[in-house]
Chains A and B, each alone.
Chain A
Amino acid sequence: MLLLTLLVLSTFDLCFGSTNLFSINSTDPLFSSILFDIRLPKTLTSIIAGSGLALCGLLMQSLFRNPLAGPYVLGVSSGSSLFVAIATMLISSVHISGFFIMGKSIVTLFSIIGAFFVTLIILLISRKNKSNVTVLLVGLMLGQILSALQGLIEYVSNADNLKTFVMWGMGNVGNTTLQDLLFVIPIYAVTIIASFFFIKPLNAILLNEQYAQNLGINVNALRLSIIIITAFLVGLITAFCGPIAFVGISVPIASRLFFKTSHHLHQMVFCLLLGACVVLAADVICQLLSSQFMLPINTVTTIIGSPVVMYLLFKSKLSIG
């Protein structure tokens, strides 16, 4: 059923926009230009961003055994943002102008490093202090520090770079070109496939770390692997779409409420599909609401998504975490 929703939403996403595709003859070069150069990359990016972030959220929530974990809440997205800020504003102002493919891969690299760096710090702290509250507080604080540093960089950068960066920060799936996707899709595919090799250890760690260790799981190796996977995914997606809030934390929660299973094989598939649907739906709504300009996707995902999850939480009697 989710797969069907995904297909329908993808079609919607391809069809709607500032220009009505049906009014153009399909042999017109404009038709293929709009479809393949603008709509298709945007639809694919939405799917990649939504599914990737949702999967990261699931992996982090299981690893920390905390339903409040997610790339945005724990400051991982902020880490990416800061490093993207450094890359776009400091480095690009020196010699690389604008966003061409070379610049983008450097930005992506920085973004991944930023995400990795933050996840590593959170992990080290979570090992010293087992309390979930501490981990969350540290994540929040870290996010604040990183945002402050980012503010500092914004303050010293020039107006053009600043505008690019602020627009990026609102979250946008429409800036990716087909050429970018050739670079994005392989990394995305490898990380998604890699995460499916951790289903068994993730299932075991849901009990707790000591039980997992006793069940023959190398907990340290699992932690490191999950960190690398999430850093790559969050870094990649953040570099191209900006820090997208809400999806990472809420989709796994919603998925657990909808699908009553703890098995990671099922939850991973559900999160991938549900995440993709959420961002696609947000993008469709963005276009329906305003045909003149692109609404930032963060606004839509948060305003529409959060109440849905709150409703689900109130309705369900049991703890989700």
Chain B
Amino acid sequence: MIVIKDLEIGYKNKSQYHTVFKGINMALDAGSFVGLIGDNGIGKSTLLKTITGNLSLLSGEIKINNKQITEYTAQQLSQILSIVITEKIGGFNLTVWDVVAAGRTPYINIFGKLTTHDEGIIISSLTQLNLLTLKDKLIDELSDGQRQKVMIAKSLAQQTPIIVLDEPTAFLDYTSKHLLFKTLEKLCQEQQKLIIVSSHDIDLMKQYVHKTCTLTEGYKVTIL
């Protein structure tokens, strides 16, 4: 599903390249649960941002479904790949429903009108994460664990075969972490989604994830 060859990641600043990590090779299939481990600042988030198209790659290639990532439009990519990131959202009267409904953005018209079909998908996404009773709550009123579940429900509503999560367990307690990873595992198995998750929680990774990828300074990364 995703094939990465000799990938070099980092930031472009005018004509200057600032390389964060290079020599990454991966082949990830649908239905697999992939974990990404590495110290702070090693480039986990940079790698995830590059895979999701938020950052452009410096060299090498990323192919999604046999097509170069650069050949996808933002609109097309939004229907293949969804993200859950660490930055907390909230305010502006945003409710659980609003955030999950935002997952339908790639499919709805310019005035943001949801059809009954869209509403059905939002309700089923909420139900899968046991959030239906919270649907009218403001995001600001939720616990950190509930927030993360809302963001995952948003990804489900986006109906993408790939979900990328950057440190989803960062603010969570022991029980919530395990619940979250169990949910992700279930999504992999039942819906054949490819889930890529970064975390510092090595024990958690060992227990749930199918493959782990460790970023270490000076080493190449190969996962097949």
Contact = CB atoms under 8 A, between A and B. Distances in A.
Interface residues of A, number: 32
Contacts of B73: 216
Given A200-B112, A215-B106, A208 B91 contact: no
B158 A319 contact: no
Nearest to B110: A200
Contacts of B74: 213, 216-218
Given A208-B87, A262-B94, A318-B138, A215 B105 contact: yes
A214 B112 contact: no
A260 B93 contact: yes
A216 B92 contact: no
B102 A318 contact: no
A57 to B, nearest CB: 13
Interface string A237-281: 000000000000000000010001111110000000000000000
B106 A216 contact: yes
B77 interface: yes
A67 B140 CA distance: 15
Nearest to B99: A207
Contacts of A264: 112
Interface string A36-63: 0000000000000000000000000110
B209 interface: no
Contact of A207 (B76, B77, B102, B138): B102
B54 A216 contact: no
A203 B93 contact: no
Given A215-B78, A216-B74, A216-B75, A262 B109 contact: no
A262 B95 contact: yes
A5 B71 CA distance: 53
Contacts of A65: 91-92
Interface in A176-219: 196-197, 199-200, 203-204, 206-208, 210-211, 213-218
Contacts of A261: 93
Nearest to A214: B83
A207 B53 CA distance: 18
Contacts of A307: none
Q: Which of A61, A67, A211, A264 has the most CB of B within 10 A?
A: A211
A215 B158 contact: yes
A211 B85 contact: yes
Contact of B140 (A197, A203, A215, A319): A319
Given A206-B94, A211-B83, 16 more contacts: A199-B112, A200-B105, A200-B109, A208-B87, A210-B54, A210-B83, A210-B87, A211-B154, A215-B103, A217-B74, A256-B93, A262-B92, A262-B98, A263-B112, A320-B91, A320-B92
Interface of B: 49, 52-54, 73-79, 81-83, 85, 87, 89-95, 98-99, 102-103, 105-106, 108-113, 138, 140-141, 154, 158
Interface of A: 61-62, 65, 67, 196-197, 199-200, 203-204, 206-208, 210-211, 213-218, 256, 260-265, 318-321
List the 3 closest pairs (A to B, CB-CB), nearest first. Answer: A216-B78, A215-B105, A216-B75
12 contacts: A199-B112, A200-B110, A200-B111, A203-B98, A203-B112, A208-B85, A210-B83, A211-B102, A211-B154, A215-B103, A256-B93, A265-B112
